[in-house]
Chain A
Amino acid sequence: MSLDTISSSPLHTQPASLTTHSVPVEHLDYKYIEKCSDLKYLEKILGVLRSGKEGIYPHLTEFCEKHVEKLDPRSRALRKENFPATSASFSKDEWDQITNELQTWENEIKINDVELNKQLFFCNDVNIPPVRGSNCSIQKVTYSGDKAYSKTRHLPRSYQDWDKFDVEKECAKIDETLTTNESAAIIDDSLLKIQSKIDTTGLTEQEKVVLANREKDKGNEAFRAGDYEEAVTYYTRSVYIMPMTTAYNNRAQAEIKLQRWYDVLSDCERVLQLEPHNTKALLRRATAYKQLENLQMAHDDINAVLRSEPNNMSAQRLLEEISKKINAHIHHKPNKGKKLLIQEVEDDDDDDDDDGDEKDDMPCAGGQSAGENRQAAVRGGMGNAQKKAHSGGARGPTANKYKVKAEGEPAAVANRKNLANGNSTAQPANGRPDSPGEERTESTCASGALPPPLARLKNEGNQLFKNGQFGDALEKYTQAITGFTEAAIDSPEDLCILYSNRAACYLKDGNSSDCIADCSRALELQPFSLKPLLRRAMAYESLERYRKAYVDYKTALQIDSSIQAAHDSVNRITRLLIEQDGAEWRQKLPEIPAVPVSLRQHHTAATSSTHLHKENDTQEAARRAEARFTSLKTEGNELVKKGQYQEAVGKYSECLKLKSDECAIFTNRALCFIKLKRFAEAKQDCNSALNLESSNKKAFYRRALANKGLKDYEACSSDLQEVLRLDTSVQEAQQELDEVTALLKQQRATGSPSQPRRDITITEVEDYDEEGDAVKSSSDGEQKSTSQTINLQPSNAYEFGQALNAARSLNDTAACAQLLRTVPPDSLPQYVSTQLDGHTLSFIMKTLDTHLLASEPGVVYQLLDHLHTTERFSMVLMMLNPDERRQMTQLFEHLCSVDCEDFSQNDIKNLANKYI
């Protein structure tokens, strides 16, 4: 009893106390009561006043009550007898709300009730544990001291027997080593015994919902009591039964308390998958990012929150902290950041106290932490209503923003400015300082160039975008667009770019719907531009409008089939759609627009332009481009003659941007690359040229030189032979061939792949006016997208995969052969690993058969010997079609017929068994 804090209530002990310590009449006085600060005595006075023994003074009684309340609002003396409230106690709205709520519940529960009754006779006992006593391990203990109860478990047991029964002793008898103390004071460690999984077999959906909510409530309660570990356990149980966003969200909050940041991230991401704009999840993820020092991501998340709820206090506070941190990072070096981290942790501890005011929005200092906690946990499922009202209110300005934007851009600019700055003071809608009227004079500028002010805005936007300041970039682009439309410039491609760039900002900010709107506008201006298409696809995907996303990705792939991300996304979406719609999913798709052949891009990724200008080369620009093209080309040729190859490459690249189907430019640039000893790029250019014009001897010759530079003498020699076949009179080719053959022999003899690099003398003098007839001579069938850079020196699995895919999509077995040569055979399985599918395998087989087998059977054997150890190899084998199988058999037949000291016929047979 000593621990009990018994407090006697003066109210109830009144009659007794009054007789013993009576209150002098003079104390029943306003002045005395006002001055008196002894709560107990005041309560006594109040008791006397209420009793009416000294006369009835209603006003004095009330005064006394107020004074007591001032001293202690929770005083027991203030408790009065109340009667149940009736409709009269509420305002009409409140009363209606109460009755309506009940009525709704009544209707819902009655439906549930009927449904439950339908399932009445369906019940199974699968997951019910057996009757007590039949499997309880402790009961197998024999009770020596207690014969009466040792025979049967079900006989009554007296209190004394209960007391006598000493589990420890009994256990110790059986197992001497067992020293656990079951009845220890601390039982918290038994928390581990709460199972994180629940057997839900045989439960109806309805029951699962009830159960999941119940576990979540238990989690909320544990959270409030400060048992965060336990809360996490219960939330885990809840999501195990049925994944709900609230449970994930609350678990994230509990994990924040436990400082398990990575768990927080994964939970928030799960919520965001289900609800992309869940504010709480975004805030919690931001907190986790902040703690993990991933400030940029935290910043992005908070911006996303502030966009939907500009007045969210915790978000603003968190944003402030993060901005401070970012600045600290910029100005000082990491050691300063360390210090801040500690400060943050302290902040979090401050939030742990649980007696703050829960009704206010965000009362605590840690911004997100405490206020959010309560919002989430205290209210649990039901309590979210209030929060929703809040967010609903906050949505006002957002909705307003959309409306304004539809009507006129300037207002939208102001609005966005507000959002970006994070303040809510309204700016005048026409507050944009620069007047577009003055810009019109300069809008006559040639060839798609923007008037300088707009160009400046755009460049600023680009710069901000690159710095990750998407909000600010957005603003710049918007200004540029407004200026553009007002200046009435007729340059759809520039406007298209602006829209596309702004869409990118929206996309980065997670504002998918605006992104889609901008992309659509851009595409109206410039049908089949790649970037807007891709961005729109991504936006659709994030909004889970998979069908539209699929169509956009597909369209984008028609334009440029080498976009790996698009391929991946298409695969992913296909899977999702199949899941969603079943096998018929294709029929539900909107029509995929066919892209005109002229627009299919010949992608020049080699130049890796980081600009956002790439959409320039379209038919509108063609006319203007033509002139520019010619001048650029002549300039390039001049530079080559002067020996300024680097500059020449720049000129030629510009040319190719304008017109990418010019064979001569490719060969010329290849020459420059060779002079600059950038052989891989040179080879790439030659390949492009050959794709345009399959019998261009210059291209062959230069590729030979490039191959020689790459020490691929094999390919070099074959290229030179090709040159000689086309034109036997080329002296240089003959000379080169002789030299290369010698080198080749030398290489085979030594077997060492690394030889000292030889200087290659390039003895070529050429005229550079060759574009004329060469352009159209080749077969049009070759005009598919090519010239993707194939990285032939992959350093990791990803690069290898990229290169292999590129090679396969171009059906470039030579490149593949090159690729396979560079890879050490024993690491091949790691490199291919997940990329391996039937087509890739057959492509590799083909390459081995056609390119490598003749020259390097040893390598082929090595590769084959390792390839079959790849993950999922047997699976892939099963998916081969008959043709591909035949090809494989062929390869092994060929391999058998080759004589090589690296392997025997038996080895081949063993290996073949693994493949065929």
Chain B
Amino acid sequence: MSAPLDKPQVVSHSQKSLNYSLFDSKWIPCSAKFVCLGSSCRGTGLMQIYELQHGGIKLVKETEKTKPIKCGTFGASSLQQRHLATGDFDGNLHVWNLEAPDVPVYSVKAHKEIVNAVDGVGGLGIGDGAPEIVTGSRDGTVKVWDPRQKDTPVANMEPVEGETKRDCWTVAFGHAFNDQDRCVCAGYDNGDIKLFDLRNMSVRWEKNIKNGVCSVEFDRKDIQMNKLVATSLEGKFHVFDMRTEHPTKGFASVSEKAHKSTVWQVRHLPQNRDIFMTAGGAGNLHLWKYEYPAKRSEMDGDGEERGVAGTLNLLQNVTLSTQPISSLDWSPDKQGLCVCSSFDQCVRVLIVTKLNRV
């Protein structure tokens, strides 16, 4: 094994204990600031903006909302506007202008119950096509919103009447490589992963990974589907090669059990799609690299093309806390800089070094 310092190192830049429950943290694009979303002890929502300053972090703005905020994304906003879309415990989707966060610029009662996950595409130069926000909720539905259209979603994916509604824990956009193609991937508490093709308005692929799906993410939103990572309860995660779909066997995948408990979150490095970090329930982070196989597809006996999964290489792992790490976000601007929030009411800024050398 190479000398320990040749590997990427996870450096703790700064951390701050907060007096409220943190659910999500996101870098504000093109800035040294990030926003923390959570719930105060009084049961209201909190939105705080922190900025890196001289080796530390400093609170620059705080806004209180009526309902606890569960999740947020900048993905559907232009770089000029940088509006934050959030989902709250009451099922509302809001879009905020962080310069004037008192009144939302867009607001809709999206779901009957808590919005567990939100993702955006079409903004920040990521993904061609219209800006769209997808929300997934405990009410079992996944809805796609266009901030230019009031009140109604542009697409809605919900279970049939009578079927038990599964709690949707995570949603992600992908396949947005031109202005028509676009996919939404959703993960449910029963281990279902569903891939919806928004262009054809159809379910493109389904898969059950046995344990509840905590987080799904495509390695890139704005290319043809390449890889999808899905993390689950019980510490396992799967990487699917989404390039080649076999008619019966589906996508090839590799899985890894690395964490001792739930893998709460997976996030790909914005500067290198083959490197990603998983955040575990025991307060640890694992940094992975996906190695492609020599040939990504091969012919099986029936003349059908079948994908070949690659291998996973653990680059580094660190333990930050005893409590689960609930969210992780890479800075889109500075390679290796990330922020994570954990259930010990702590927000941490980390630097991962030598990422360009792996």
Of residues 188 to 203 in B, which have CB atoms within 8 Å of A's CB atoms? 194, 196, 198-203
User: Is B318 a contact partner of A221 (Cβ separation < 8 A)?
Assistant: no
Q: Which residue of B lies closest to A3 (CB)?
A: B252
Per-residue 0/1 for B257-281: is the Cβ within 8 Å of any A Cβ (1 yes, 0 no)? Answer: 1101000000000011110000000
Task: List A contacts of B225 (CB < 8 A).
Answer: 187
Q: How far is the CA of A386 from the CA of B354 in the complex (A)?
A: 11
Task: Name which of A94, A187, A206, A383 has the most chain B CB atoms within 10 A of its CB.
Answer: A187
**Which A795-818 residues have C-beta < 8 A from chain B?**
none
Question: Which of B99, B125, B128, B204 sits near A195, CB closer than 8 Å?
Answer: B128
Selected contact of B351 from candidates A102, A139, A214, A225, CB within 8 Å: A102
Is the pair A82, B132 in contact by a Cβ cutoff of 8 Å? no
Within 8 A of B (CB), among A138-163: 138-139, 153-163
A82 & B80 in contact (Cβ 8 Å cutoff):
no
| Cα distance A354–B187 in the bound complex, in angstroms | 33
Chain B 173-214 interface 0/1 with A at a Cβ cutoff of 8 Å (1 = within): 000011111000000000000101011111110000000000
A99 interface residue per 8 A CB criterion: yes
Tell me the residues in window 60-114 of chain A with beta carbons closer than 8 Å to chain B beta carbons: 69, 73-74, 78-79, 81-86, 89-90, 94, 98-99, 102-103, 105-106, 109-110, 112-113
Closest beta carbon of chain B to A50's beta carbon, Å: 15
> Counting chain B CB atoms within 10 Å of each CB, which of A3, A83, A136, A155 scores highest?
A3
B158-A113 in contact (CB<8A): no
Q: Which of A4-12, A410-418, A553-561, A568-576 contacts B (4 or more CB under 8 A)?
A: A4-12
Residues of B within 8 A of A (CB): 1, 5, 9-13, 30-33, 52-55, 78-82, 99, 122, 125-126, 128-132, 141, 143-144, 146, 148-149, 152-161, 163, 177-181, 194, 196, 198-204, 220, 222-226, 235, 238, 243-247, 249-258, 260, 271-274, 284, 291-292, 294, 296, 304-307, 309, 313-314, 316-320, 333-335, 337, 350-351, 353, 356-357
CB distance from A234 to the nearest CB of B (A): 8
Q: 14 additional contacts, CB 8 Å, given A5-B309, A84-B318?
A: A3-B252, A12-B260, A69-B1, A74-B313, A82-B318, A84-B350, A99-B55, A102-B52, A128-B131, A185-B246, A187-B245, A193-B178, A194-B177, A214-B125
Residues of A within 8 A of B (CB): 2-9, 12, 69, 73-74, 78-79, 81-86, 89-90, 94, 98-99, 102-103, 105-106, 109-110, 112-113, 116-117, 119-120, 122-123, 128-133, 136, 138-139, 153-163, 165, 167, 182-183, 185-188, 190-191, 193-195, 198, 204, 206-207, 210-211, 214, 217-218, 221-222, 224-226, 230, 353-355, 358-359, 379-380, 382-383, 385-386
Chain A to chain B: the 3 pairs with minimum beta-carbon distance, closest first: A156-B156, A84-B12, A158-B160
Q: Are A191 and B305 in contact (CB under 8 A)?
A: no
Complex Cα–Cα for A153 and B201 (A): 11
User: CB-CB < 8 A to A106: which residues of B?
Assistant: 32, 52-53
Q: Are A193 and B146 in contact (CB under 8 A)?
A: no
Tell me how far the C-beta of A254 lies from the nearest C-beta in chain B, rounded to whole angstroms. 15
Q: Evaluate contact between A159 and B160: CB separation under 8 angstroms.
A: yes
**Are B11 and A98 neighbours in the complex by a CB distance under 8 Å?**
yes
Per a CB cutoff under 8 Å, which of A6, A128, A206 touches B255? A6
Q: Which residue of A lies closest to B310 (CB)?
A: A225
Taking the closest CB of chain A, its distance from the CB of B302, in whole angstroms, is 11
Residues of A within 8 A of B273 (CB): 221
B275 to chain A, nearest CB (A): 10
| Selected contact of A132 from candidates B196, B198, B356, CB within 8 Å | B198
Docked-complex contact A3 and B130, CB < 8 angstroms: no
B13 surroundings in chain A (CB, below 8 A): 102
Kindly state the separation between the CA atoms of A132 and B255 in the bound complex, as whole angstroms.
35
B249 & A3 in contact (Cβ 8 Å cutoff): yes
Q: B165 to chain A: closest CB distance in Å?
A: 11
User: Which residue, of B143, B200, B203, has the highest number of chain A Cβ atoms within 10 A?
Assistant: B200
Q: Are B334 and A186 in contact (CB under 8 A)?
A: no
Nearest chain-A residue to B254 (Cβ)? Answer: A5
Choose among B53, B201, B222 the residue that contacts A162 (Cβ–Cβ < 8 A): B201
CA distance A903 to B314 in the complex (A): 90
Nearest CB of B to A597, in Å: 63
Q: What's the least CB distance linking B323 to chain A, in Å? A: 15
Among B10, B80, B148, B296, the one with the most A-chain Cβ atoms within 10 Å of its Cβ is: B80
CA distance A764 to B78 in the complex (A): 91
Whole-angstrom distance between the Cβ of A45 and the nearest chain B Cβ: 19
Contact between chains at B257 and A12 (CB < 8 Å): yes
Cβ-defined contact, B129 with A211, below 8 A: no
Instruction: Indicate which residue in A157, A186, A195 contacts B178 across the interface (CB closer than 8 Å).
Output: A195
Bound state CA distance, A304 and B111, in angstroms? 66
A668 to B354, CA, bound (A): 81
Contact yes or no, B238 A379, CB < 8 A: no
Q: Is the CB of A136 within 8 A of B180?
A: yes
- Chain B residues, Cβ within 8 Å of A86: 11-12
The answer to whether A113 touches B31, judged by C-beta atoms less than 8 angstroms apart, is yes
CB distance from B115 to the nearest CB of A (A): 16
What would be 20 A-B contacts, judged by CB atoms less than 8 Å apart? A73-B1, A84-B350, A112-B30, A113-B33, A116-B31, A128-B130, A131-B130, A157-B158, A158-B161, A162-B157, A163-B202, A187-B243, A193-B181, A204-B80, A206-B79, A226-B292, A230-B223, A353-B294, A380-B356, A385-B356
> In the bound complex, do residue A207 and residue B125 qualify as a contact, i.e. CB atoms below 8 Å apart?
yes
Contact call B203/A159, Cβ cutoff below 8 A: yes
Check B31 against A102 for contact (C-beta < 8 Å). Answer: no
* Cα of A549 to Cα of B10 in the assembled complex, Å: 54
Question: Do A2 and B333 touch across chains, with their CB atoms under 8 A apart?
Answer: no
Across-interface contacts of B334 in A (CB, < 8 A): 102, 105, 109
Partner of B200, one of A12, A103, A138, A154: A138
How far does the alpha carbon of A102 sit from the alpha carbon of B132 in the complex, in Å?
32
B160–A165 CB distance below 8 A = no
A119→B81 CA distance, assembly (Å): 9
Find B284's partner among A81, A85, A89, A98 (CB 8 Å cutoff): A81
- Contact call A225/B292, Cβ cutoff below 8 A: yes
Q: By CB atoms of chain A within 10 A, which of B11, B251, B333 has the most? A: B11
Q: Judge whether B305 and A186 touch: CB under 8 Å.
A: yes
Contact yes or no, B317 A81, CB < 8 A: yes
Q: Measured between C-beta atoms, what is the minimum distance from B303 to chain A in Å?
A: 11
**A116 and B180 alpha carbons, distance in the complex (Å):** 29
By the criterion CB–CB under 8 Å, are B271 and A217 in contact?
yes
Cβ-defined contact, A354 with B292, below 8 A: yes
Q: Which residues of A contact B306 (CB under 8 A)?
A: 3
Given contacts A187-B245, A195-B128, contact A3 B11 (CB under 8 A): no
Contact A3 B253 (CB under 8 A): yes
Known A2-B249, A113-B30; judge A8-B80 contact (CB<8 A). no
A154 pairs with B156, CB closer than 8 A: yes
A residues near B177, Cβ cutoff 8 Å: 193-194
Q: A5-B309, A161-B160 are in contact. Are A85 and B9 (CB under 8 A)?
A: yes
Complex Cα distance, B272 from A214, in Å, reads: 10
Residues on B with beta carbons closer than 8 Å to the beta carbon of A165: 201-202
Min CB distance A190 to B, Å, is 7
CB distance from A55 to the nearest CB of B (A): 25
Kindly list chain B residues whose C-beta atoms are within 8 Å of the C-beta of A82: 10, 316-319
CA–CA, A369 and B255, complex, Å:
33
Contacts known (A3-B249, A3-B253); A113 close to B32, Cβ less than 8 A:
yes
Q: Which of B30, B220, B305 contacts A210 (CB 8 A)?
A: B30
State which of A94, A131, A185, A190 has its C-beta within 8 Å of the C-beta of B245. A185
Chain B residues, Cβ within 8 Å of A153: 154
A84 to B161, CA, bound (A): 49
Contacts of A383 in B (CB 8 A): 356-357
Nearest B residue to A66, CB-CB: B1
Q: Which of B32, B198, B222, B251 contacts A218 (CB 8 A)?
A: B222
CA–CA, A873 and B222, complex, Å: 50
- Interface contact A167-B79, CB-CB below 8 Å: no
Contact present for A130 and B130 (CB under 8 Å) = yes
Are A207 and B80 within 8 A (Cβ)? yes
A162 touches B313 (CB 8 A): no
Chain B residue numbers with a CB within 8 Å of A218 are 220, 222-223
Known: A4-B254, A154-B154, A157-B201. A109 touches B80 (CB 8 A): no
